[in-house]
Amino acid sequence: MRDTHSSFFAMINIIAVGNLKDKWIKEGCAEYAKRLGSWGGLTVTECVEQRLPDDPSQAQIDAALEKEGRDILSRIKGDSAVIALCIEGDMLSSEELSGKLDSFMQHGKSTIYVIIGSSYGLSDTVKKRADLRLSMSRMTFPHRLARVMICEQLYRAMSISHGTKYHK
pLDDT tens digits for 90-131? Answer: 999 999 999 999 999 999 998 999 999 998 999 999 999 999
Percentage, residues of the chain above pLDDT 90: 76
Residue 115 falls inside a structural domain: yes
Mean pLDDT on 134-148: 89
pLDDT of residue 168: 59
Cα–Cα separations (whole angstroms), residue 103 to 6, 44, 107, 108, 164: 10, 22, 6, 9, 19
Cα–Cα separations (whole angstroms), residue 117 to 20, 86, 123, 146, 168: 13, 8, 8, 10, 30
Domain of 28: which CATH number? 3.40.1280.10
Residue 155 falls inside a structural domain: yes
Residue 1 falls inside a structural domain: no
CA angle 22, 95, 108 (to 5 degrees): 90
pLDDT of residue 6: 52
Residue 5 falls inside a structural domain: no
Q: pTM to 2 decimals?
A: 0.91
Enclosing domain of residue 128 = 11-161
pLDDT band, very low/low/confident/very high, at 53 (cuts 50, 70, 90): very high
Residue 168 falls inside a structural domain: no
pLDDT of residue 3: 42
* Phi then psi dihedrals of residue 116, to 5 deg: -120, 115
For residue 2, pLDDT beyond 60: no
- Cα–Cα distance between 149 and 145 in angstroms, integer? 6
Number of domains in the chain: 1
Nearest one of 6, 11, 4, 116 to 69, comparing CA atoms = 116
pLDDT band, very low/low/confident/very high, at 1 (cuts 50, 70, 90): very low
